[in-house]
Structure formats: C-alpha cells, structure tokens
C-alpha cells in the first residue's frame, strides 16, 4: 500500500498544470530550470527563420508571381466578355493572386524549415529534460560512451536518432502551418497597413 501511495503521489506531482509546475519551481527556487534550453532555442530559431525567409522569397518568385502573370494575361484577353464586372472587383482580382498557392507554399516553407532544424530542436528537448528532472548530464554521457563501445553508431544512425518523433511532430506541424498561412493571407489582404 505504501508503494501504491507513493506512485499516486508521484503521478499527482507530475500530472499537474503548467501554472502549478511554474509555481512549484518558484517554491523550490529553481527558476533557472524554467529557462533551460533558452539559448539552444535561439540557436534553433535563427536558422529556422533564415530558411523560412529564403524559401518564402524563392517560392513567391517562382510560383506565386507566375500564377499572377497568367491571371493578368487571361484577364486582359477576357476583358471584352466581362464588361458587367464592377471596376472595384477587377482591381481586387488583379491584386490578389491564387489563395491556395499562398496557403500551400506557406505550409511547405514551414515544413521544410522545421525538417532542416529538427536536430537542433531534439538537442534542446534532451537538454531541457536533463535539467528539469535533475539527471546528471555527465552520467548520461558516460552511459552513452559505454553503449557506444557495445554498439558502434555510424553518422546515419546518429541522424536517424535526431529525427525520431518527427513523423508524429508532423501531425502537429501541418495543421499549425495551415492555420498560420491562412491567418497571414487574411491579414496581408484585408488589413490596411
């Protein structure tokens, strides 16, 4: 019964909300744990942002502007047939390229950038886990060295380990980037700047 009581106590301790976890860290005077991995997060964010910006420029240049030019060309040819269209609608139609191309390219850009920087994200999560749960990082390295003597790891195996969990992470990423792209498209086209 005592062992069962300890298990229940530990479950209650670790299955708490975010605010109670922060409060618990403040009571233990371990505020540094809350910022564990912050520098690694910044290190991950810089290449992610660079890749996203460059891919966005590239995709906009080659895909969106091509669709925009095709649309203008077709619009000019069909101008005689569509006399009844309102002038404001014509201007709006000229300014806004295809909606779906923006959304698909936004999702694709974010997904490629996340795929490229996922190993840095894995390192950050491992570091945070070690700091938060007070496991000695040196013991972990020594333990890995013993495992490395038993089973040699190649570069390919190390990279596979860095991408573990990416397929599950993708299930979260794609809808997230879809929402961000739709929101960005809405703000870009409907908000006066």
pLDDT per residue over 81-136, tens digit each?
455 555 555 554 455 556 777 788 888 888 898 899 888 888 888 877 777 665 55
Match 């298990």 to its residue by tokens: 7
Q: What's the confidence (pLDDT) of residue 63?
A: 73
Same domain, 137 and 114: yes
Residues 131 and 61 in one domain: yes
Q: Number of structural domains, the chain?
A: 2
- 62-89 average pLDDT score: 53
Residues 89 and 151 in one domain: yes
Please indicate, yes or no, whether residues 30 and 89 belong to a single structural domain of this protein.
no
> Do 71 and 16 lie in a common domain?
no
- The DSSP result for 12-53, as a single string, is HHHS--HHHHHHHHHHTT-HHHHTTTHHHHHHHHHHHHHHHH
- Take residue 176 and report the two structure tokens written for it: 């997230």
Nearest to 147 by CA among 157, 156, 135: 157
Q: Identify whether residues 73 and 24 lie together within a single domain.
A: no
Dist CA 3 CA 155 (whole Å): 43
Find out whether 35 and 132 touch, Cβ atoms under 8 Å. Answer: no
Residue 111 and residue 28 share a domain: no
Q: How far apart are CA 184 and CA 181, in angstroms?
A: 5
d(CA 138, CA 161): 20
Cα 108 from Cα 124, distance rounded (Å): 24
Residues 62 and 80 in one domain: yes
Quick one: 25 and 45 in the same domain? no
Which of 11-20, 26-35, 83-92 is predicted with the least confidence, judged by mean pLDDT?
83-92
- Residues 93, 24: one domain? no
Tell me, yes or no, whether 20 and 59 share the same domain. no
Q: Look up the domain containing 1 and give its range.
A: 1-34
Whether the Cβ atoms of residue 63 and residue 104 lie closer than 8 Å to each other: no
Q: In Å, how far from its chain's centre is CA 26?
A: 29
Q: 113 with 52: CB under 8 angstroms?
A: yes
Q: What per-residue confidence (pLDDT) applies to 80? A: 47
Shared domain for 28 and 119, answered yes or no, is no
Residue-wise pLDDT for 163-193, tens only, equals: 888 888 888 888 888 888 888 777 777 776 5
The larger pLDDT score, comparing residue 127 to residue 77, is at: 127
Confirm if 44 and 117 have CB atoms less than 8 A apart: yes
């Amino acid at each position: 019964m005592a062992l069962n009581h300890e298990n229940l106590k530990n479950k209650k301790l670790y299955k708490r909300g975010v605010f109670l976890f922060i409060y618990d860290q403040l009571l233990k005077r371990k505020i540094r744990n809350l910022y564990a991995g912050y520098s690694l997060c910044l290190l991950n964010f810089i290449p992610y942002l660079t890749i996203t910006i460059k891919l966005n420029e590239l995709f906009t240049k080659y895909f969106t502007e091509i669709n925009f030019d095709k649309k203008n060309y077709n619009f000019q040819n069909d101008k005689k047939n569509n006399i009844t269209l309102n002038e404001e609608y014509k201007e709006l139609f000229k300014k806004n390229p295809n909606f779906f191309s923006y959304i698909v390219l936004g999702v694709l850009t974010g997904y490629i950038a996340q795929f490229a920087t996922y190993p840095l994200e894995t390192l950050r999560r491992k570091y945070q886990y070690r700091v938060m749960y007070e496991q000695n990082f040196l013991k972990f390295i020594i333990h890995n060295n013993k495992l490395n003597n038993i089973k040699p790891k190649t570069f390919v195996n190390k990279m596979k380990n860095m991408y573990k969990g990416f397929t599950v992470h993708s299930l979260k990423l794609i809808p997230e980037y879809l929402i961000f792209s739709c929101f960005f498209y809405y703000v870009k086209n409907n908000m006066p700047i």
